[in-house]
Amino acid sequence: MLLHLAWAARTRGDFKLDETYMKSAVRLNPDDKQFQDEYLEALQRAHPMYRIFAVPDKYLRAMTPWQILFCWVALWTIFKPLVLLFILLYVVSKWGTKALVHVRIFGWRRR
């Protein structure tokens, strides 16, 4: 039940509530691999650095594929270095927050 509530909170964009529900779900069933993975994702999504770079994702979901393609081609021709920079920043923020969450949960040891 808590997993579904967490998914609903994530869909609404309430990442702190998503993290709270997933923390409770992991406490109730600590051995379930899906709950553990969902909790790590919830922690990553709640991190401020990840949310800053994930803002364009909200707008991209509302666009149709041809609009996305048109925007990418237009931005690529006008702002080629900036597009590469934003792609690099997004990748760094995704893996950086994943690493921060891993250290926060498991410490410096490997999982």
How many distinct structural domains can be found in the chain?
2
Same domain as 79, residue 35: no
Same domain flag for 54 and 87: yes
Cβ distance 52 to 46 under 8 Å? no
Question: Low-confidence residues of the chain, pLDDT below 50?
Answer: none
Looking at the fold, whether 70 and 16 belong to one and the same domain comes out as no
Same domain, 54 and 79: yes
Q: What is the pTM of this model?
A: 0.59
**CB atoms near residue 13 (< 10 Å):** 11
Query: HSE-up of 39 (CA within 13 Å, CB side)?
Result: 22
- Out of 25, 46, 67, a domain closes at 46
pLDDT for the residue 70? 93
Cα–Cα dist 85/98, whole Å: 20
Together in a domain, 58 and 38: no
Residue 74 to residues 64, 83, 92, 107: CA-CA distances in angstroms? Answer: 16, 11, 24, 43
Range of the domain at 18: 1-46
Same-domain check for residues 94 and 60: yes
Q: Are 42 and 58 found together in one domain?
A: no
Among 36, 40, 28, 18, which Cα is nearest to 103's? Answer: 40
